[in-house]
Each structure stands twice: as structure tokens, then as C-alpha cells.
Structure 1
Amino acid sequence: MTTVESGAIYTDRAAPVEERVADLLARMTREEKLAQLGSVWAFSLMDGGRYSEERAQTVLRHGLGHVTRVAGATNLKAVQVARAANAIQRFLVTRTRLGIPAIVHEEVCSGLMAREATIFPQAIGVASTWEPELNRRLADAVRAQMRAMGSHQGLSPVLDVVRDPRWGRTEETYGEDPYLVARMGVAFVRGLQGDCPAEGVIATAKHFVGYGASEGGLNWAPAHLPPRLLREVYLYPFEAAVREAGLQSVMAGYHELDGIPCHANRELLTEVLRGEWGFTGTVVSDYFAVDDLHSYHRFAEDKRQAAAAALTAGTDVELPATDAYADALARALDAGEVGEGEVDEAVARVLRHKFELGLFENPYVDETAVAVTVNAERHREVALETARRSLVLLKNEGILPLRPAAGTVALIGPNADSARHLLGDYSFAAHVESLLEARERKGLLGQTMTVPDDLEMEESTDGVPTVRDELTARLGDRVRYAHGCDVIDASRDGFGEAVAAAAAADVAVLVLGDRSGLTTRATTGESRDRSSLELPGVQEDLVRAVVATGTPVVAVLVAGRPVGGDFLHEECAAVLMAWLPGQTGARAIAEVLLGEVNPSGKLPISYPRSVGQIPVFYGHKVSGGRSHWHGDYVDSPVSPRYPFGHGLGYAPFVVENVTLDRAEVAAGDSVTVEVTVANTGDRAGEEVVQLYIRDPQASVTRPVLELKSFARVSAGPGRRTAVRFRLPTGQLGFYNRNMDYALETGHIEVHVGFSSDALTLAGTFAITGDAGRPEVRKAYTGTVSVVEVPPATARPR
């Protein structure tokens, strides 16, 4: 039972948080402290799908730091999740000595991973909107749903910069550019954490750091990143999230950097993250990763050494269940390999979160209020708006939008009539499969993970329409459906029906691509890396067979990464990249195909022609193999199939005028770039105006282009929009030969346009000033204003 002394400071909600932390910490035993650094799977506290007091008495007797996935690792509906979370908290508050509640964490890569929760587009699609404010609204919706169910920490955003789409987790990222990743990530953190910690959810940026730069595009493989590249590209989004958005948690990566696994890398977790950036939150382990220092990396001799290495490096909390931070960490303490002070520091950070979240005052949630919050209509509207703007029209030879009188439509392909295939790898439906596979194989990720036999899982795609559903609702019996083939299987048995349907139709819509998840049935997602970017299975052959009928073909790619071979992209009349668009994705696809919505997504990652080009990204160096003697490969261009920032629409926009407000700017000041763009078409549309800079000569070589700002604009037919970018010089610095962030005098080119290879030179300005002046403070972004230009007034006769 809870035994709290009268007048204990930590129970006084009016006392400063630091005093409450210190008071509580001084009262704790070693066992209680270690418990705060650990976690437990929610299903370990369940029996027959219900909370078990008997199991809680064994597992929670000393308290607990985190509960892992009450929603995402059970089969409970939203109200049941809230009820279970309340029961766990009630035990901790009333049945443990000090009454310390737990933090409940959940996966939130594409919304809260829970039955009945809204399933948003996967992150790579969200990045394709180039609209950070939309991502903030998305995260705010996730925050509301999490809080309603009794959750307090979300394992997102993924701030990995990725330039190798072979990597299965490409879909979880915001793409290849550090600035775009930072803007989307900062917005997500602000939306999830909110304005008030007691009403917010802790955001957990991952995977710290360089995880998306893995050797061979393989999950958990080493990342080979020299210090300057690490600082300027891969650390940058995390730094922006900490300094701009007040990020409260970081998850270390599974991989290693220069021989040091990230979970044991004190330079990263303590010296850079805490010492340089002033981060005050918690570092949590990726699942099972503390023991991986021993069992996978062979960096530590045993669990005891693994626990000591992780904790002393700065890893505060072990997820998803206490393993090395239990008896092994206690033995490390006894052996003097870890100091009591280091344990106290980590425990204090966990306790600080709990006080700031308001858990001591409000550990429970209103179970009757869950139904009106989870998957509310306002959240589905955000999902739909995001899905619409995430779709990238890669190619269009005039066939789209499909005209009302287009005749019959052959709808073909493995993703045409599948709700499941619209969802990302951390959707609830996908993780259901992971837990079932873990139970069948008696393990996951090489670790012991006991999933109870009485834990029955269901696919959670009820109410999620398919592309077939949405097109049929609009076109009726003009839609002729044929499955064609499966995503990954080799059977061509459905080819005959597909070819017949295409031959008899006026247009064929092929919905192709991936199946996302973590199991062997998935073709994209965590640990589902590929050595080819062609469509999996026999889908490329299906494309050839349908194109051979002579019927015009529109390819819709529902995928987690750039996919498709030369034939598909060259021979199809239109190609629409839909990514993994979530529960409203099918509607967005149908609307774009039929012209109800103008496509406006832009690629957040360069689209390779083949794996032989990888890595291919726009911000390469001058010497990066793109401008040597012969230029191209012997057998292929060096340019990507579609460049970073590319995306077509039904309304053509042009840049009419670009100006710089000055030719010189003093270090520490800013320059203003004004752009006027016009919609020259006959329908309303949206476009993304992109601003890049180039430093033509510096003391260290610089990328040929660097994205520094962007703005989404909308305009009616014949209308103009003015965009004003304020670019602070603090954005233009880099790490010099001494690895100090510095701004050098010299010239900067400014380019503006609608993709990284369709740019107008705005002009050049010079940065002036004393080269010996104090360091210019780093800036992460400038400001943007968008104003509609009123139509010209007719001159009087």
C-alpha cells in the first residue's frame, strides 16, 4: 500500500518541479529507482484480455517507468484501453509504497497505433505535402487521441535523413533533405507536445543518429558518416527539434557509428545532445537495444556490461521491457561500473517528465469521453486533407484527370481492392501481424518476447475503403475490376482476366506497389529492405501485359519508397505516387484521378532510375560524379528519374518575377527574396515555391544546392500570388575546417522554382563583415509570407 509521509514535498502540486523531484528521489530505494528506468509490455499485465491484479502485484511491486503500448500491443478497443490504463495507474498510485504513476508510451508513426484510432498517411507522404502546419495539426490530433486513452509519450517523429530507398524504413521518414526533415519534424513535435505539458504528449525523435544512412540500405547496419556530414545533414533535424520545439525525448539508433553503437555513444547522447544543445529530457532505448550491445554488436561481454555502457553513455530508460536494467544493472552498480549518481540523474529525468505531465495530480482519464475523441470527424478531415496533398503526380501525358465521358475503366492490381495495403508499417493492422508472428516464432528481433496465447488479434481495417470502393462509388458499373496478381507472389494466374478487362476498357488504372509491415509477407517497412527498386513479385510483368493491349494506362503506386522499373515509368501514360495514404487514402486517390482535387504533392526524396544510382540526391557536391569528363554512367544517366521537389498538377504555374532586396548583407542580418507566381491554367490549383541557395566558393566544399525555405501557394485561374522569403544569414553557415559552425564572407546565389531542377536564378548577394567577428548565431529557418496579388485594374478608356 502507498505510504506517503504527511507534508511530503513531492505530493505538493504547488512546489517547484525540481524540489518535488529531489524530495521523491531522496525517499526511493535502489529497487524503486531501477524500476523507474524500466518498462513492461502491457500484455504482461493482462489475462484473457483483461487487466490482471495478480500479474500487477508481481510486475509492478517496486513501481515502473514506462508501460509499453496499452493500445498497440493488445486487442483492446479505445474505451477498454482507457480502462486498462486507469487500472494500471490505480495499482501504481494506491498499491506501491510511493505511489508513482507510469508513463504509457505508444507508437505514432502514422497516427496512434491503436484499434479505432485515425490512420494518417505514412510520414513520407506527409513530407510530400511540404506543409509543416498540416503536420502540426496531424500531431495535435494524435495528441488528443493519446491523452483520451491514457497515453503520455509517442515514439515519433522519425528524423532520419534517408538517401537510400532500399532501406525499408524510408516510408517512416520525411525524406532526403535536412531542412525539409527539420521543418516537418519541428511541426510534429510542437503539435504532439502542445502548449501545456500537463495536456501534451512527449515526442520522441528517432533514431539518434544516422540510422537512415545504413550500409547497403540494410536495417541495423553501420552508418559511415564523416563528422561534417553528420553535423550538417544527420544531426541537424534533431538539433532543430531540441532548440526550436523543446523536444522532450530522443530514441537512440540500433546501429553503430565509427565502431561505437549509438546506445553506448556518450559523445552523442551526453556531450552533443545535452552538453551542446541543452537537451533536458530523456533518452530511451530502441526496443531490446540495450541487450543488443552484447547479443548483436558484441560490444559488451554480457548484460551487465551492456547495462553499464548504455546508462553511462546517457540512455535513461530501457524499452520495451526491463531486461538489462534489472538485475544486470544492479550487479553493475555493485561492481562500481555505474555510479549511484548516474542512476539518480536518469531517474530524476524520468520523474521530471511525470511531474510535468501532471500524472501525480491526474493519473486517470475519463473513460466516458474516449468515444467522442478517438477517430473524431475533425481528425479524419485532417487525414483526408493530408492524403490529398501527399499525392505526387510524377508523370501525365494528358490522360489525367479522367474525363466524365472517358468510358469504361479497367481497375487492376493487387492494391486496387485492399484496405490493408494503404497503411504504413506502424499502423495497428500491420503490428497485429507482427505480434502474431512473434507468438508463432516465440520471439521477435532475436529476443525472447512472450505474447500470451490468449491474446487474440484482429486486422483493423473495418471502415477503411479501398480504391475500388471509391472509384465504383463515383463511376458505378463503368469500373471493371480484375485483381491481376498479388504484391509478392509469383503467380500469373490472374493475368488473363486483367488483360481482357484492359482490352475492353477505354483506360486502365493499375494500382500497384507494396505491402507495408514488419513480417515476411511485407515488402516495405522496418527490416523489409530490398536490393531492387522494381515492383515486387510479378507486378512489372503485369504492367507489360496490360500496356500491350494498347489501352492507355495510369499507374497508381501505393508504396513505401520510390518503385517501378523503366518500362512502367516510360510506357504508362500517367504515374501517380500515392505512398501509403492511410484510411482516407483511397478517397484522395479517386478524387485526384477524376479531377475533383488538383494534385499538389512534391517529392521529398529523389526518385532513382535504379539501385545502381544509389545514393542519388539533389544536394551533392560539385565533385559528386555528376559533372566528370563523360558525365553519365555508361548505361544510364546520372540524373534521377524524377528530381527532389518534383510534382505535377492540373493547373500550370510559372514564376513571373523574382527580386532580392539587396546586393550586400552584413553577417547576422537577413536578405529578403520576393517571388510572384501565376496560375496560367483554366482551373484553380496549388503549387510549392522552393528556395535554394548555392555557395559557389568556400573554405570547405559545399553542396551544389541547399533548400532553405519553401511555401505552399494556391491561386485561381489567371491569378497571381506573391511570396516573400526572409532569409537570415545564420541559416547560411556551415562547419568549417576546425569543425566550428561559421558564417564566411562571400557570395551566395539564390534560386527559386518548383523543383530542384526547375529553378530561376533570383540573383546573388554578398555577405560582408569582419572575418574575425564573433560567431554568428545559427538560425534554423526564416519567415515566409504569402499574399494574393489583386488583379490589375482596367485602364479607363
Structure 2
Amino acid sequence: MNKNGKLDVYEDVKQPIEARVNDVLQQMTIEEKAGMMFINGAKVNEDGSIEDKPATGLFAFVPNALELMRQKKMNHFNLWMIPSVPSLANWYNAMQHFAEDSTRLGIPITIASDPRNHFSNNIFAMTAASFSQWCEPLGLAAIGDEKLTQEFADVVRQEYVAVGIRESLHPQIDLATEPRWPRISGTFGEDAALSAKMTKAYILGLQGQKLGVNSVAAMTKHFPGGGPQFEGLDPHFPFQKGQVYPGNNFNYHLIPFEAAFAQHTAAIMPYYGVPMDAAHEHVGFSYNKGIITGLLRNKYHFDGVVCTDWGLVTDAHMGNIVWPARAWGVENLNPEERVQRIIDAGVDQFGGENIPEVVVKLVKEKKISEVRIDSSVKRLLRLKFELGLFDNPYVNETKATAIIGKPAFIQAGEASQRRAITLLKNEAKTLPLKLGSLKIYVRNVDPKIAAQYGTVVNRPEDADIAILRLNTPAYPVKTDIPIASMFHHGDLDFKGVQKDSILQLLNTVPTVVDIYLDRAAVIPDISAKAKALIANFGASDAAVLDVIFGKYKPGGHLPIELPSSMEAVRNQKEDVPYDSKQPLYKFGFGLSY
């Protein structure tokens, strides 16, 4: 690998991992060590080539991995959009060949990804051709079956490994105790015990009992729990107001992480949030030595990789728009001081950044010791060795297309969409509807799909029954940062013309309402007037109609409560689960037929 004509210890598969780690570490320059401490997004060209090519849209702002390897000596990358499975497999193998043939030590690359296997429009659910599409994690919690969650994660593992994705930037195990928070759909809900149960099964499915050549390393997030944001305002953005603990319930949010530690999660990602209680310094968690070294390292004895969330050090420039670095509480520090502060806190890797030269400078100026850098690089190297990347990092490009989107995987994902659907109301046993015998009016449903279940009519007045699909309301925060509009902030109830239109339909014809819960909707008026009400957690039209018409029975139970009013939401304590006054539907509620 280092082209010296002999088998070094780190190149020898028969040697113990620690000996291999120490051998390659002592051969690395400070520039190579620093490069390993950064992971950033990378684009995949349409043809799977690795050279930098002009791109438009979001891709225009995504770095080229080959250039980052050459110029910055980086070897960790995460992927967002990908053109196709064959292109990704080709790109991945070409990148590994470059690492092997054209870098000094031949250190292989590690590829990471946010979730790709959910039927979702959520900003954090990456989409890619052919990956199996399951319900969202909130849906897995609604099902509540550890075996299914482990099966899901095992399918993810197989699909990821097939194209070289060896690190998952998930599971997300924050507790959804503040119902306005935009990231609830990626969680297992608001109950710590349920979340802990799902967490263990999920990590086991990804990693196996022990990390190995067929594992995907889990980067579990967001320590120590990102759910209790003040008014639900997400700390991706400057308008956030900190994490708050009015119920003194900080430790409750650690329970799922304790399950992750018990299952030996490979890595941990802290969140951007600033703890606003008196017990902790008021700086973002990756800057917070009390949280990273005191709590995570010393109390929980976690010795895996700790990687920041994305973009804590440098501002992101997207055309004329500036998205400020999430350096909350340390905005006054310059990038060098921020990097030093994060390393001093006990973090190993910088997400969404590519400035290893700053680490090099800090070491040369003796502001950070090389021994401290070595401790982080050892963890990152160890993970590469445990995953078998030093011995055979390549994928079988032919097999990749056979594994990803395998019919059994697709079917299992579609079944999960149906099984997670939760029946909340069924007045006079309206459901299941009789297949093929009804005139149906549909709104927000594909009429061609609906026509397979009954006769579709164009006016509600002509229908025996209406089927209405809704999404939980959201009201974007006013900001100059365009990506913020993709986060579902704000009140949870329908308002104005939109609400009037819904109620008019419900008053015109008996209506079955299906609502997608990426957060907790406030829908007392809609619930009162609907003949039947179901909730989904990422489901196709066919999945919803299959349940409505009795091909599948609804099997979900709410992993989050549905409050009865926005006043009740505003009176909740952000860090306390299921504490709204007289909820419309309680946590755990679910009917069937």
C-alpha cells in the first residue's frame, strides 16, 4: 500500500488491529492525520467518473472528493444525491483505486450517508434510485417490533455495503418531547424506553454483534438528545433559542444513548444545540467539554469516534446567501479558535468541513499537541480496519444492482408502510371500506391508483365516500437562508382557507382522513367531523388505500401524542414526554379491525 516493496505491519491482515493502527499512525505526516479528521459531502458524476465536472443546482456547492483527497488528504466523505446505483458503484471503486494507487500510504476512503430507505419527503431522508422504501423511524416505533426494526437495519446494511457506504449517519435517537421540532420524523418518538428498545435493534441490524467486513458503522445522533428545542426552533439556524429543560429532565434524554452504548455504537454525533440550563456551559454540544469529555468520555466511557454535526466552523456560501456556521455560544471565535475549542472538548472529526490545514497550523504552533491528534486519528483508523477497508475496500458492481432494491427488500419496505398506519377513529365501523363497490372522491390521492379500489368521481357530491390525504401543517420561519424553508417549523394546526376547504369537504360527504405525521398534528375539528381518521408515517397512496379497503389491517400505535390545541402545545415543557393537557389522542393509542 505504501509502495515500499515489503509487507508492513499495517498491510498484514494477520496482524492484530491495534498493531496495524499503531504502525500506519507512526508513518503518517501531520497533514495526513489532519486530513483524516474531516468529512464532507461529495458529488457523484452521472457517469460514475471521479474527476471534477461542472454541476448545477445543489451539486454546484458540493465538493469534488478527488480534489479533497489530492489537496486536503481527506479520506472520509458523505453522499447526498446520487444519480444511480451503477454510477455510485463505479465512482466508489474508482475512488478506492485512486486511494490505493495514488496516495502515499494507500489509506482507503470511508463513505457515509444519511438515511436512504424511507418513503419520505423529509429533508434528511436521502433519495436514490432503487433503494427499498420503508416507513420512517417514527413508523417503526409505531409498530414497536424490535425484530422488524433489526430486519430493516439489516436490509439497510446489505444495500449500503453493496455500493460501499460503510457508515450510517443514523440512527437518530433524539426524543420528540417538543412537538414543534422539525426533526421528529427521524426519531422513534417521545418515549425513552421505546426509543431505547428500537435503538438497540437498529444498531444490531447495522453493525451485527461485532463490527466486521459486512458491517455498517452506526454514527448514532444527536448526543445528548436534540429534542427539547425552545419553541421547537431547530439549531441549524441562527433563529434558534437554545435547548431548554423546564422539567429538569436532561437525564431522560440520555436513556436511548445508554442503549446505543450497550450495543457498542461505533460513533456518536452531538447536536448543534446549546443547553440553557444552569448545569452546563451555554455553548453548542461539540464545543462543550463538559458534555463530550465529562459526560460522554468519562461517565459513559465511550471510546468510539465522536464527529460534529455539519458546518460548525465555517460559514456556507451558496451564491449570495450566507448560512452561518453553527458556532452557537462561540460566535466571537475565529475558525482556528473554533477548531481548537472542538478538539479540546474531546471531538475526533469535523463534519461538513474541509479545513485540515487549520489543524496542521494549530499543531505547528503548539496550540494542540500531536499526541492529542493521534488519539483521534487512532479511533478513525481503527474503524477502517474493523470494517475491513484496508484489506478489501471494493464492491462488486454487478452484484450492487441485484442487491439494492431486491424484490424481497422492496416488499418488506412496502409492508412496513402499511403495518405502521395507525387507526385513530372509526365511527360506526366505517372502515374497512368495501372494495370495488363504492363511488369515491379523492383529494391528494392519485386518481389512477384510487380507481383500482372503486369508481372515482370528480365531485364530492356524487361520491359515497371521500378519501382525503393531509400532511401535518408547517409554517416556515422567515429567514434569508433558503434551506430553512424545508424544515417544518411552526404551529401544528390548519388555518384559514386551508382549514375551511378541509372542513367543507368533511361537511359535504362522509370522509376518511389520512394524515402524514412528521410532527404531532393538532386536528380536533378534523377529527370530530371525519368518519374515520388514520395516521401514516411515510406511506404511498397504495399503502394507505390497502389499509382503508381492508387488504391490510392497521397495526400502529402512536409514538407521539396528538395535542388537543396549540395552547396545550405552548404550555408543554419541552423536555418532558406526553405532558400536554387532555390530548386528543394519547401516546400509544391505536385501534384496529
TM-score (norm 1): 0.65
Structure 1 residues 46 and 385: alpha-carbon distance in aligned structure 2, compared to 1, 3 A threshold: closer
Structure 1 residues 56 and 237: alpha-carbon distance in aligned structure 2, compared to 1, 3 A threshold: closer
Whether 2:543 is the aligned partner of 1:554: answer no
Q: Percent identity?
A: 28
Distance in 1 (alpha carbons) for counterparts of 2:146 and 2:575: 21
Whether 2:381 is the aligned partner of 1:351: answer yes
Match of 2:81 in 1: 73
Structure 1 residues 400 and 161: alpha-carbon distance in aligned structure 2, compared to 1, 3 A threshold: same
Task: Tell me the amino acid that sits aligned with residue 73 of structure 2.
Answer: G
Alpha-carbon deviation of 1:257?
A: 1.4
Alpha-carbon deviation of 1:131?
A: 1.1
Match of 1:144 in 2: 158
Matches within 5 A, 1:222-621: 222-225=242-245, 229-231=249-251, 233-243=252-262, 245-258=263-276, 259-291=282-314, 296-299=328-331, 301-323=333-355, 326-397=356-427, 398-404=429-435, 407-412=438-443, 415-417=444-446, 468-475=447-454, 478-480=455-457, 501-514=459-472, 528-535=487-494, 538-549=497-508, 551-581=509-539, 585-614=540-569, 616=572
Judging by fraction of residues, say which structure has more strand. 1
- Equivalent position SS for 1:322: coil
Q: Which of 168, 179, 182 is the matching residue for 1:168?
A: 182
Kept after mapping to 1: 8 A contact 2:464/2:510: yes
- Equivalent position SS for 2:143: coil
Alpha-carbon deviation of 1:163?
A: 1.5
Q: Which of 83, 91, 101 is the matching residue for 1:84?
A: 91
Distance in 1 (alpha carbons) for counterparts of 2:33 and 2:302: 22
Structure 1 residues 619 and 402: alpha-carbon distance in aligned structure 2, compared to 1, 3 A threshold: farther
Task: Tell me the amino acid that sits aligned with residue 591 of structure 2.
Answer: L
Distance in 1 (alpha carbons) for counterparts of 2:490 and 2:474: 16
Structure 1 residues 207 and 525: alpha-carbon distance in aligned structure 2, compared to 1, 3 A threshold: farther
Judging by fraction of residues, say which structure has more helix. 2
- Equivalent position SS for 1:134: helix
Structure 1 residues 555 and 564: alpha-carbon distance in aligned structure 2, compared to 1, 3 A threshold: farther
Structure 1 residues 345 and 90: alpha-carbon distance in aligned structure 2, compared to 1, 3 A threshold: same
Distance in 2 (alpha carbons) for counterparts of 1:518 and 1:120: 27
Match of 1:60 in 2: 69
Alpha-carbon deviation of 1:396?
A: 1.0
Alpha-carbon deviation of 1:574?
A: 0.9
Task: Tell me the amino acid that sits aligned with residue 228 of structure 2.
Answer: A
- Equivalent position SS for 1:533: coil
Structure 1 residues 58 and 124: alpha-carbon distance in aligned structure 2, compared to 1, 3 A threshold: closer
- Equivalent position SS for 2:466: strand
Alpha-carbon deviation of 1:7?
A: 3.3
Distance in 2 (alpha carbons) for counterparts of 1:52 and 1:153: 23
Distance in 2 (alpha carbons) for counterparts of 1:28 and 1:19: 15
Alpha-carbon deviation of 1:304?
A: 0.5
- Equivalent position SS for 1:298: coil
TM-score (norm 2): 0.86
- Equivalent position SS for 2:330: coil
Alpha-carbon deviation of 1:227?
A: 10
Match of 2:279 in 1: none
Distance in 2 (alpha carbons) for counterparts of 1:57 and 1:372: 28
Distance in 1 (alpha carbons) for counterparts of 2:156 and 2:203: 11
Q: Runs of 5+ in structure 2 lacking a partner?
A: 54-63, 119-125, 277-281, 315-323
Distance in 1 (alpha carbons) for counterparts of 2:483 and 2:567: 19
Match of 1:203 in 2: 218
Kept after mapping to 1: 8 A contact 2:473/2:494: no
Match of 1:51 in 2: 50
Structure 1 residues 140 and 405: alpha-carbon distance in aligned structure 2, compared to 1, 3 A threshold: closer
- Equivalent position SS for 1:198: coil
- Equivalent position SS for 1:409: strand
Structure 1 residues 586 and 47: alpha-carbon distance in aligned structure 2, compared to 1, 3 A threshold: closer
Kept after mapping to 2: 8 A contact 1:65/1:350: no
Match of 2:122 in 1: none
Structure 1 residues 290 and 110: alpha-carbon distance in aligned structure 2, compared to 1, 3 A threshold: farther
Kept after mapping to 2: 8 A contact 1:109/1:157: no
Structure 1 residues 377 and 155: alpha-carbon distance in aligned structure 2, compared to 1, 3 A threshold: same
Task: Tell me the amino acid that sits aligned with residue 402 of structure 1.
Answer: L
Match of 1:647 in 2: 590
Alpha-carbon deviation of 1:5?
A: 5.8
Structure 1 residues 294 and 383: alpha-carbon distance in aligned structure 2, compared to 1, 3 A threshold: closer
Comparing 374-383 with 401-410, which one deviates more in the overlay?
A: 401-410
Match of 2:227 in 1: 212
Kept after mapping to 1: 8 A contact 2:267/2:307: yes
Match of 2:207 in 1: 193
Match of 2:321 in 1: none
Task: Tell me the amino acid that sits aligned with residue 546 of structure 2.
Answer: E
Matches within 5 A, 1:577-726: 577-581=535-539, 585-614=540-569, 616=572, 638-650=581-593
Structure 1 residues 526 and 213: alpha-carbon distance in aligned structure 2, compared to 1, 3 A threshold: farther
Distance in 1 (alpha carbons) for counterparts of 2:97 and 2:461: 64
Distance in 2 (alpha carbons) for counterparts of 1:176 and 1:208: 15
Structure 1 residues 526 and 175: alpha-carbon distance in aligned structure 2, compared to 1, 3 A threshold: farther
Structure 1 residues 353 and 3: alpha-carbon distance in aligned structure 2, compared to 1, 3 A threshold: same
Alpha-carbon deviation of 1:593?
A: 0.3
Matches within 5 A, 1:122-141: 122-141=136-155
- Equivalent position SS for 1:81: helix
Distance in 2 (alpha carbons) for counterparts of 1:135 and 1:144: 14
Distance in 2 (alpha carbons) for counterparts of 1:226 and 1:339: 40
Alpha-carbon deviation of 1:337?
A: 2.7
Kept after mapping to 2: 8 A contact 1:512/1:555: yes
Alpha-carbon deviation of 1:63?
A: 3.5
Q: 1:541-591 CA deviation, whole Å, 9 max, x = no partner?
A: 222111222x2111111241222432201111111101322xxx3332111
Alpha-carbon deviation of 1:214?
A: 0.3
Match of 1:425 in 2: none
Alpha-carbon deviation of 1:361?
A: 0.8
Kept after mapping to 2: 8 A contact 1:213/1:224: yes
Structure 1 residues 394 and 56: alpha-carbon distance in aligned structure 2, compared to 1, 3 A threshold: closer
Q: Which of 100, 114, 118 is the matching residue for 1:93?
A: 100
Structure 1 residues 508 and 113: alpha-carbon distance in aligned structure 2, compared to 1, 3 A threshold: closer
Matches within 5 A, 1:35-50: 35-43=35-43, 46=45, 50=49
Structure 1 residues 639 and 374: alpha-carbon distance in aligned structure 2, compared to 1, 3 A threshold: same
Task: Tell me the amino acid that sits aligned with residue 73 of structure 1.
Answer: M
Q: Runs of 5+ in structure 1 lacking a partner?
A: 418-467, 482-500, 627-636, 651-797
Alpha-carbon deviation of 1:191?
A: 0.6
Task: Tell me the amino acid that sits aligned with residue 93 of structure 1.
Answer: E
Distance in 2 (alpha carbons) for counterparts of 1:525 and 1:130: 32
Distance in 2 (alpha carbons) for counterparts of 1:142 and 1:526: 29
Task: Tell me the amino acid that sits aligned with residue 312 of structure 1.
Answer: D
Distance in 2 (alpha carbons) for counterparts of 1:617 and 1:270: 28
- Equivalent position SS for 1:250: strand
